[in-house]
């Protein structure tokens, strides 16, 4: 007996054995394998293929064969799903990152007459249905014959990634999660325009709406934290590091008014023009967005842009704003941020208002980093806030913090308590005085977390002992979190930091979005556990 016959026989036996089980149990079995194993399982029998296929198509992460970016297979995937609408309907999550660009940031073309190259695969040359498929797909997203002809030619020659992506996602009727790279050069403009037309229900989307179930998106930097591969130029790599952040907030405006949108996560967003509201954000109406959660991590937005975003929300429940690095060259005023947040003070339940460890580098200039008050936020239950935003930048004069917190607060998490730059020495004592009046300030408070560089920081640990003791006496669970734990992991081993205020939401990696080792310690600096 040949080896191939042995393999075939063993696979047949496995399939027969599995199929003897109930379908309910088979469904549970199919949910466990990793994708390569799931693909192999789907090939063993008709029954297992039927059960495994939805899991295979549920989440599509478009990658290159060598970690080199997703659009190598963008066209073949689009063709496959245009051919198979039943498979397209199984897709709930879609991700595409990285583009194949040369040093001039131009799309690497297909070969002659659309043939495959090392970097990109074209439309199949031997399939008679390609032209009719593409003609119908274009007709579904434009309203004039002239525009149909123009876009068909562009789509057929494969010269516009944005158009291909727009066509593809418009054919995913059950799409719920979307992760499209934030900066795709010309492709970005195409996708942005496409999303705006959908959100505004312009012709033909007034009668043929698409993306009606899309609820959660990530807008992130150009490169994955897992890989950084050629072809790319050094200028690509440095974009956002020596100038502005690399991603425009335009995409936020495009997503905000989609009817099913609920959660927007953005990473390293910024604008190049301080004097003008970003176009797509300027078009937002007041109270028109159904979004319930916005997370802007490592981001600095101009006041006008942030104002438009928050005023468009009619029921925002979670807002996470982590101000980015000082080198983004933005004028940062906490008063501007708080003025914008007035639009959400009656709906907000969870707030993270934090910053990069380098944010204060520019505070000696035009920035105005004053203390904030959140007393008007009637529904706020969870608050994570930097000590600097509680006390102000280098505010050496002690003041009463009792009017800072909302009475409904249940969990308070203060960051940078171990850093004298961001946390003046009087802050722990002021927080202790607030805690002594817990019954009137925040009677429902259940948990207090103090986070900062606290390992081997005896002076600051001594300063918080009174606060910790008072907190425990008031029946509040108290956690001291040292974020200066020694991180001995290698560059490639650093884990990806989760999203959401509990960091429980998972997305594909973003460049630089690493989690850090932390330690839970006691007031004497002894490590209780690592996290």
How many CA atoms, within 13 angstroms, populate the side-chain half-sphere of residue 504? 2
Q: How confident is the model at residue 367 (pLDDT cuts 50, 70, 90)?
A: low
CA distance 139 to 130: 14
Is 525 contained in some domain? no
Contact residues for 128 (Cβ-Cβ < 8 A; gap 6+):
none
> Is the distance from CB of 223 to CB of 98 less than 8 angstroms?
yes
- Report which secondary-structure segment, H or E, holds 293: strand 293-299
Residue 217 falls within a domain, yes or no?
Answer: no
Domain assignment present for residue 45? The answer is yes
Flag whether pLDDT at 258 surpasses 50: yes
Q: Are residues 15 and 125 in the same domain?
A: no
Q: Is residue 471 part of a domain?
A: no
More confident site: 264 or 48: 264
Better-predicted residue by pLDDT, 358 or 311: 311
Distance between CA atoms of 375 and 359, rounded to whole angstroms?
25
Does 37 share its domain with 108?
Answer: no
With 70 as the cut, is the pLDDT of residue 342 above it?
Answer: yes
DSSP state of 426: T
Report d(CA 488, CA 490) in Å as an integer.
7
Task: Specify the pLDDT at position 14.
Answer: 52
Q: Predicted confidence band at 336 (pLDDT cuts at 50, 70, 90)?
A: very high
- 85, part of any domain: yes
Residue 24 lies in a domain: yes
Q: What confidence score (pLDDT) does residue 189 get? A: 80
Could you tell me which residue, 117 or 527, shows the higher pLDDT?
527
Give the C-alpha separation, 455 to 457, whole Å.
Answer: 5
As a whole number, mean pLDDT of residues 167-187 equals 83
**Confidence band, pLDDT 50/70/90 cuts, at residue 127:** confident
Q: Exposed, middle or buried, 500 (CB in 10 Å: 0-12/13-18/19+)? A: middle
Number of domains in the chain: 2
Helix-helix angle 186-199:161-170, to 10 degrees: 30
The answer on 79 and 20 residing in a single domain is no
pLDDT tens readout for residues 411-462: 999 999 999 889 999 999 999 999 999 999 999 999 999 999 999 899 999 9
Check whether residue 186 and residue 99 sit in a common domain. Answer: yes
pTM of the predicted model, to two decimals?
Answer: 0.88
Residues 43 and 72 in one domain: no
48 shares a domain with 197: no
So what's the pLDDT on residue 366? 56
Residues 85 and 197 in one domain: yes
Closest CA to 190 of 240, 228, 141: 141
Query: Does residue 506 have a cis peptide bond before it, meaning omega lies within 30 degrees of 0?
Result: no
| Per-residue model confidence (pLDDT) at position 21 | 64
Residues 69 and 46 in one domain: no
The Cβ of residue 486 has, within 10 Å, a number of other Cβ atoms equal to 7
Span 386-409, pLDDT tens digits: 999 999 887 888 899 999 999 999
Question: What is the tens place of the pLDDT at every residue in 3-50?
Answer: 444 444 555 545 556 666 666 666 666 666 566 667 666 666 777 777
Contact between 180 and 209 under an 8 Å Cβ cutoff? The reply is no
Arithmetic mean of pLDDT, 92-96? 93
pLDDT band of residue 178 (cuts 50, 70, 90) is: very high
Helices marked H in 420-486: 427-436, 438-441, 458-473
Q: From the CB of residue 141, how many other CB atoms can be counted at a distance below 10 Å?
A: 21
Q: Could you tell me if 310 and 344 are in contact, meaning their C-beta atoms sit under 8 angstroms apart?
A: yes
DSSP result, 304-331: HHHHHHHHTBSS--EEEEEE--GGG---
What does the pLDDT read at residue 488? 78
Tell whether 231 and 93 lie within a shared domain. yes
At residue 36, the pLDDT reads 66
171 belongs to a structural domain? yes
- Higher pLDDT among residues 421 and 170, named by residue: 170
Boundary (domain end) residue, out of 41, 56, 71? 56
Question: Average pLDDT for residues 376-389, to the nearest whole number?
Answer: 97
With pLDDT > 90 as the criterion, what percentage of the chain qualifies?
A: 51
Identify whether the C-beta of residue 131 lies closer than 8 Å to the C-beta of residue 97: no
**Calpha distance 223→183 (Å, rounded):** 10
pLDDT at 272: 62
Q: Cα separation of 432 and 419, whole Å?
A: 18
Q: Tell me whether residue 320 is exposed, middle or buried, using C-beta atoms within 10 angstroms of its C-beta: 0 to 12, 13 to 18, 19 or more.
A: buried
* CA–CA distance, 461 with 468 (Å, rounded to integer): 10
Residues 79, 207 within the same domain:
yes
Residue 129 domain flag: yes
- Domain identity same for 154 and 84: yes
| Between 251 and 89, residue with greater pLDDT | 89
Asked if the peptide bond before residue 463 counts as cis, ω within 30 degrees of 0, the response is no
The pLDDT of residue 231: 34
At 270-321, the pLDDT tens digits run: 876 555 667 888 889 999 999 999 999 988 888 889 999 999 999 999 999 9
For residue 34, the enclosing domain spans: 3-56
Examine the domain organization and report whether 52 and 137 are in the same domain: no
Residue-level pLDDT at 275: 55
């Amino acid at each position: 007996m040949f080896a191939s016959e042995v393999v075939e026989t063993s696979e047949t036996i496995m399939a027969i054995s599995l199929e003897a089980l109930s379908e309910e149990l088979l469904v549970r079995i199919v949910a466990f394998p990793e994708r390569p194993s799931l693909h192999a399982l789907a090939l063993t029998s008709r029954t297992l293929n039927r059960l495994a296929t939805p899991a295979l198509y549920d989440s599509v992460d478009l990658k290159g064969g060598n970690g080199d970016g997703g659009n190598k297979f963008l066209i073949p995937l689009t063709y496959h799903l245009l051919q198979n609408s039943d498979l397209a309907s199984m897709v709930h999550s879609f991700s595409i990152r990285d583009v194949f660009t040369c040093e001039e940031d131009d799309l690497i073309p297909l070969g002659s007459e659309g043939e495959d190259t090392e970097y990109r695969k074209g439309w199949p040359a031997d399939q008679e249905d390609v032209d009719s498929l593409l003609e119908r797909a274009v007709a579904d997203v434009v309203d004039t014959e002239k525009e149909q002809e123009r876009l068909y030619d562009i789509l057929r020659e494969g010269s516009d990634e944005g158009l291909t992506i727009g066509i593809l996602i418009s054919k995913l009727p059950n799409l719920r999660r979307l992760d499209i790279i934030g900066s795709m050069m010309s492709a970005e403009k195409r996708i942005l325009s496409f999303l705006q037309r959908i959100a505004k229900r312009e012709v033909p989307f007034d009668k043929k709406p698409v993306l009606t179930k899309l609820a959660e998106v990530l807008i992130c930097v150009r490169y994955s934290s897992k890989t950084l591969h050629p072809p790319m130029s050094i200028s690509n790599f440095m974009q956002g590091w020596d100038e502005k952040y690399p991603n425009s907030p335009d995409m936020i405006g495009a997503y905000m008014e989609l009817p099913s949108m609920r959660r927007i996560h953005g990473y390293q967003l910024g604008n190049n023009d301080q004097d003008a509201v970003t176009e797509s954000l300027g078009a937002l109406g007041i109270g028109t967005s159904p979004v319930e959660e916005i997370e802007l991590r490592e981001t600095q937005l101009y006041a006008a842009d942030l104002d438009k975003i928050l005023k468009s929300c009619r029921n925002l429940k979670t807002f996470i704003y982590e101000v980015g690095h000082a080198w983004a060259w933005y004028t940062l005023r906490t008063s501007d941020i708080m003025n914008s947040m007035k639009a959400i003070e009656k709906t907000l339940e969870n707030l993270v208002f934090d910053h990069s460890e380098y944010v204060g580098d520019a505070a000696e200039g035009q920035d105005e980093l004053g203390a904030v008050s959140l007393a008007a936020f009637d529904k706020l239950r969870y608050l994570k806030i930097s000590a600097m935003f509680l006390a102000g930048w280098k505010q050496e004069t002690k003041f009463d913090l009792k009017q800072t917190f909302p009475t409904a607060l249940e969990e308070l998490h203060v960051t940078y308590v171990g850093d004298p730059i961001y946390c003046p020495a009087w802050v722990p004592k002021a927080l202790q005085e607030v805690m002594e009046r817990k019954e009137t300030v925040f009677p429902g408070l259940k948990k207090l977390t103090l986070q900062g560089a606290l390992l081997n920081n005896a002076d600051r640990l001594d300063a918080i002992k009174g606060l910790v003791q008072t907190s425990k006496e008031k029946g509040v669970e108290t956690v001291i979190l040292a974020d200066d734990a020694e991180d001995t992991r290698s560059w490639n081993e650093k884990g990806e930091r989760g999203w959401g205020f509990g960091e429980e939401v998972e997305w594909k990696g973003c460049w630089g979005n690493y989690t850090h080792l932390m330690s839970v310690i006691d007031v004497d600096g002894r490590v209780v556990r690592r996290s």
